[in-house]
Amino acid sequence: MSDPITALAAAGLAPVTDPDVLAAHSQDHAGLVPPGAALALVRARATEDVSAVLRIVSEYGVPVVPQGARTGLAGAATAVDGAVLLDLSGMDRILSIDPVDRLAVCQPGVLNAAVSAAAAEHGLRYSPDPGSWQISTVGGNIATAAGGMCCVKYGTTPEYVLGLEVVLASGEVMRCGRRTAKGVAGYDLVRLFCGSEGTLGVVTEATLKLSPIPAQRLTLAAVFATTADAGRAVTAIMASGAQPSLLELIDNTHLRALEDLRPMGLPTEAAALLLVCADADPAAELAAIEGLCEAAGATEVYRATDAAEADALLQSRRDAYHAMEKLGTVLVDDVAVPRARLAEALDGVQAAAERHGVLIGVIAHAGDGNLHPNIIVHPEDPASLAAGKAAFDEILAMALAMGGTITGEHGVGLLKRDWLERELDPVNLAVQRRLKHALDPLGILNPGKVIAH
């Protein structure tokens, strides 16, 4: 056969070439990353489909872009020119739940929320909780090593991935990892695929670690008049030996945007609101944290009196991004800095906002030192876009200067590929390239993402 589309069709893979469909599947939530022109879309239904697609694209030297729900924020799922888009969202079955070994086996297109719902029937949960948990897939979470609000106590997605089935660039199918709680047989391939954004292989099945649902959880909110006070509270909490199960910060810009979205009595004059949950011995834990917040200068500390009030507070944090969307197009940044430098980073973001004349609000996984500066731009105005991008870059540079990282949890994708070379040393970059070449010698797997050739 003379062309890849004919070959895909002959293999029964029903390639879609309708330009409207391709356009609709060519971007993820990194809306400002320009997509390439895709060649075709294939909707995989089984591992065999993925294997067949990869054999064919290898044969024709055509790039392939694996996609889940395309909720990523760094452009890892963005189309590249001439690519076959490989949609895995239809591989959406949970294959088994084992309550004794506390694991779930599922296909990559299963939604994060669906795993949690299935686990809950056994008193278990799937801990990783990216902001997109209701709409993002397990495969996408693995590909981006997704974080979330749970991480301050419970860690990120890769810590919950025990085993994988992966289709390699050649179309060969491999299993790695294990079903047991522990295992060290050979190199840790599972962790290598986690966060590799589809550039090393395509995940077609995952064995996930489940955890008991904490018996109780309590929530408090603390109001601060200055970012310095809020930062001091976070430092004091983390230095105290406390283990909050959530420690989030909402800045003044977001508080006002949220209150505009839906009035709920948020303190719109505050510099920052901290939300803190505890779930081990929560009454005692929150009593200690409350004292630390007051000592750091909180103007008000209040505990949610019931689960409904706690949920409303946490929902405000989850709605923060949507509240900002009312103000323009949001360019989402994602940096992590040492925890002790949180206040300094918050002030640095505002300085960048003022310098470039753009509006930037920050929500932060404060306990992890992980900030999401949400930069409002108006793409139809080139000056606004340029100013937003300049602020974006300045924030990345600030994070690196603080000993932090250009991406705490969203990944590199296309959005930050050039910045990876500023974070990693040349020897490290060379190793990254050698690994890419070892697993994808033809360079067909999501080319251009994570690392440049």
Instruction: Identify residues 119-178 at the interface with a copy of itself (CB under 8 A).
Output: 123-124, 144-145, 147, 151-152, 155-156, 158-159, 168, 172-176, 178
For a copy of itself, the closer of residues 394 and 440 by Cβ is 440
Please give the Cα distance from 99 to 89 (Å, whole number): 26
Instruction: Please state, in angstroms and as integers, the Cα–Cα distance from residue 368 to each residue in 18, 297, 310, 364, 406, following that order.
Output: 44, 21, 21, 8, 14
CB of 46 to a copy of itself, least distance (A): 18
Report in angstroms how near the CB of residue 282 gets to a copy of itself at its nearest: 10
Site membership for a copy of itself, residue 390 (CB under 8 A): no
Between 67 and 407, CB nearer to a copy of itself: 407
Q: Which residue has the tokens 């190199």?
A: 187
For residue 336, what are its two tokens? 């992590």
Q: How far apart are CA 335 and CA 393, in angstroms?
A: 11
Contact pattern for a copy of itself over residues 75 through 114, marking x by CB under 8 A: -----------------------xxxxx------------
The neighbouring-strand residues paired with 111 are 137
Q: How far is the CB of 181 from a copy of itself (least distance, A)?
A: 4
Closest distance to a copy of itself from the beta carbon of 284 (Å): 9
Least distance from a copy of itself to the Cβ atom of residue 390, Å: 21
Binding track over 333-372 against a copy of itself, x by CB under 8 A: ---xxxxx------------------------x-xxxx--
- What number of chain residues touch a copy of itself (CB under 8 A)? 88
Instruction: Mark residues 182-201: x for contact with a copy of itself by CB under 8 A, - for none.
Output: xxxxxxxx-xx-xxx---x-
Angle between helices 227-239 and 282-295 (to 10 degrees): 140
| Cα–Cα distance measured from residue 335 to residue 397, given in angstroms and rounded to the nearest whole number | 10
> Which is closer to a copy of itself, CB of 113 or CB of 192?
192
Residue ranges of alpha helices (H) inside 11-127 are 19-24, 47-60, 112-120
Within 367-386, the residues that bind a copy of itself by CB under 8 A are: 367-370
CA distance linking residue 148 with residue 154, whole number of Å? 10
Given the DSSP bridges, would you call strands 64-67 and 84-87 parallel, antiparallel or unpaired? parallel
Least CB distance to a copy of itself at residue 77 (A): 15
Where in 225-264 is the site for a copy of itself (CB under 8 A)?
235, 238-239, 241-243
Q: Is residue 12 packed enough to be buried (19+ CB in 10 Å), middle (13-18) or exposed (0-12)?
A: exposed
**Residue bearing tokens 């006070």:** 229
For the chain, the residue count is 453
Cα(first)–Cα(last) distance of the chain, in Å? 29
For residue 47, the minimal CB distance to a copy of itself (Å) is: 13
